[in-house]
Amino acid sequence: MNEPVYTYRLATTDDAEALQAIYAPYVDTSITFECTCPDVEEFRKRIEERVCLYPYIVCEEDGVPVGYAYASRLFTREAYAWAVELSVYLSNTCRGRGLGRALYDRLLKLLEMQGVRSAHGKVTEPNEKSDKLHLAMGFRLVGVMDNVGFKLG
C-alpha cells in the first residue's frame, strides 16, 4: 500500500467548497462555537478576507484538500495586528497523522516572516488532542475564560 502524498499550498477562494465540507462536521461539536455551518459563499468570503492579512494554508492528499489552517486577528484594534489566533481543521479521515502539526509548522513560519509577534490557539476544554498538539509545539496556557460559550446543552 502506498503512503499518501501530502502537499501544502496557500488557499484561494476556489477552495471554499472543499474547506467548508471539512469544517461542517465540527459545527456539531464544541470545537467551534459556530452553531450553524456557513454556506459555501460565506466560506468563500471568509477566505477572501483572511488571505489579505495572514496566511491560509491547505493540505492536500493526492490533490484533494484534507485539512487547512489559518490565522486571524486576535482582537480588532489596530495595535493587535501582530497578535493572531490560529485555527486548524482536518478531514475526519486524516486525523492522527501529524497533519495538524505540519499545517501549524508551516503557518507559524509564514507568520514569523510577516513579523507577527504572538500566535494563540483557543481550545475548548476538554480537548486532550488539541492540548497535546499545542503543548508539543511550545504553546503555553495563558488563561482560562470560564462561561463564555454555551453550546450543545
For the residues of 6-31, what is the DSSP string, one character each? EEEEE--GGGHHHHHHHHGGGGGSSS
Tell me whether residue 71 is in a domain.
yes
- Contact status, residue 19 vs residue 43, Cβ threshold 8 Å: yes
Per-residue model confidence as pLDDT tens digits over 3-28: 888 999 999 999 999 999 999 999 99
Q: Does 147 map to a domain?
A: no
Residue 124 has pLDDT above 90, yes or no: no
Q: Classify residue 108: in a domain, yes or no.
A: yes
Residue 123: inside a domain, yes or no? yes
Examine residue 146 and state whether it is found in any structural domain, yes or no. no
Instruction: Note down the domain range covering 21.
Output: 6-136
Any idea what the CATH number is for the domain that residue 92 is in? 3.40.630.30
Q: Which residues face 73 on adjacent strands? A: 84
Domain assignment of residue 145, yes or no:
no
Per residue in 66-88, pLDDT (tens digit) is 999 999 999 999 999 999 999 99
Number of domains, the chain: 1
In a domain, 27, yes or no: yes
> Average of pLDDT values for 83-95?
94
Please indicate, yes or no, whether the overall pTM of this predicted structure exceeds 0.85: yes
SS3 for 73? strand
The per-residue DSSP string of 102-143 comes to HHHHHHHHHHHHHT--EEE---PSS-HHHHHHHHHTT-----
Integer angstrom CA distances of residue 32 from 63, 88, 101? 26, 11, 19
Whether residue 127 lies inside any domain: the answer is yes
The rounded distance, in Å, linking the Cα atoms of 130 and 70 is 16
